[in-house]
Structure formats: structure tokens, C-alpha cells
């Protein structure tokens, strides 16, 4: 399967990038082809401008070259995976900008055959996110408001909780979980 993986975190030494790396190792061992877009290091511009809004209501829209390139990457993939930290109970601005620019009306027909996995790294514990209803808020936002609107065939959120833990064993367990997810990904 061809997987487009989009990752965002400004720090190269982040747990987010380490989780992504282990997940990709599992994917590759599972014989998947992986196309990685690192929003922070690949020069992606998340700012939505007038160039991204050209000919909005016409059937043959013209898109900015960067947007068209990313739309083509989505069209070529069978599955989409997003790896990101949870910031203010939402996605980071780089990912929000990507979704705003690329997941637009002109691409909606492409999503009905796609599956999406959202790998969300949360500093809080599972109990904290559930107690304050953030778990359901984030899950609903990603699975219903974004993927549901795009008519994605299948959308799943995988949380990595307590990512600020000082326990090395716990962090190693998160990395192993990411690897196993990639290894079992279908």
C-alpha cells in the first residue's frame, strides 16, 4: 500500500519525530511504500493566501503550484497518516494550514477511497483527556469534522498519552507501540 505520511513538529529531537520514525520502520517492514511530508523541514508554507482561493466556484479550478503538488500526492496515496503533537486540544498550525490549503473542495472526490490514521501525541494522561472531555473533542474533530466532511472511507485517531513522562521505559513503550502500529497497518 502507498502511504502518504504528514508529520509536524518544530524540534528535530522531538518525540513526535521519533514516533514517526518508528512507525515508518514498521510500515516498511510490512512492505508499504511511504511518502513523507515533513511540514517543518520540507519548506511547506501553511499560510492560506488569495492564490489558494482562485476560481473557487468554477469546475476547473486553478490551484497554487504548492497546493496542486500536495493534492497530487494525496491522490497517489491509498492511505494518509498524520503524526503530530496535540496543542491546545487541536492540531498544530502547520497541520491546520496544510488541511486548509490542500483538503479543499477540489479534492473531495479523492477521499472516498482513502483511509486516514491520526497519530496524536498528548502531554496529558488518558484519564485527564477523558475527564475533561478532550479525548472525545479531538476524536470528533478529526474523525467527523475533518475526515467526515471529506467523506474519508475510514478514519481513526490513535492517541499517545503522557508524552511528557520522565520514565524512559514508558517512552520506549510508546516508540514500540508506534512500531507495532506500522507493522500491523493495513
pLDDT value, residue 48: 87
> What CATH code is carried by the domain that includes residue 64?
3.40.50.360
pLDDT, tens only, 10-38: 999 999 999 999 999 999 999 999 999 99
Q: Please, which contacts does 126-131 make with residues 24 or more away whose CB atoms are closer than 8 Å?
A: 126/159, 126/161, 126/162, 129/159, 129/161
Cα 23 to Cα 34, 47, 71, 84, 170, distances in angstroms: 11, 28, 23, 13, 17
Number of domains in the chain: 1
Burial of 46 (0-12, 13-18, 19+ CB in 10 A): middle
Domain with 28, as residue range(s), is 2-184
Q: With a cut of 70, which residues of the chain have pLDDT below it?
A: 53-54, 56, 59, 106
Question: For residue 110, how many other CB atoms are within 10 A of its CB?
Answer: 18
Amino acid at each position: 500500500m502507498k502511504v502518504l505520511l504528514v508529520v509536524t513538529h518544530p524540534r528535530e529531537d522531538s518525540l513526535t519525530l521519533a514516533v514517526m520514525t518508528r512507525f515508518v520502520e514498521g510500515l516498511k517492514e510490512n512492505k508499504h511504500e511511504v511518502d513523507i511530508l515533513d511540514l517543518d523541514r520540507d519548506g511547506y508554507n501553511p499560510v492560506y493566501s488569495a492564490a489558494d482561493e482562485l476560481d473557487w466556484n468554477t469546475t476547473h479550478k486553478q490551484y497554487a503550484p504548492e497546493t496542486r503538488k500536495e493534492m497530487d500526492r494525496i491522490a497517489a496515496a491509498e492511505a494518509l497518516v498524520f503524526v503530530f503533537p496535540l496543542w491546545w486540544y487541536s492540531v498544530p498550525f502547520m497541520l491546520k494550514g496544510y488541511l486548509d490549503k490542500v483538503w479543499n473542495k477540489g479534492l473531495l472526490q479523492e477521499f472516498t477511497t482513502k483511509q486516514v490514521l491520526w497519530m496524536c501525541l498528548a502531554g496529558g494522561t488518558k484519564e485527564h483527556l477523558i475527564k475533561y472531555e478532550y479525548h472525545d473533542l479531538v476524536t470528533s474533530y478529526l474523525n467527523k469534522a475533518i475526515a467526515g466532511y471529506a467523506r474519508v472511507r475510514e478514519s481513526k485517531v490513535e492517541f499517545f498519552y503522557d508524552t511528557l513522562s520522565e520514565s524512559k521505559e514508558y517512552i520506549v513503550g510508546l516508540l514500540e507501540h508506534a512500531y507495532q502500529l506500522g507493522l500491523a497497518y493495513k
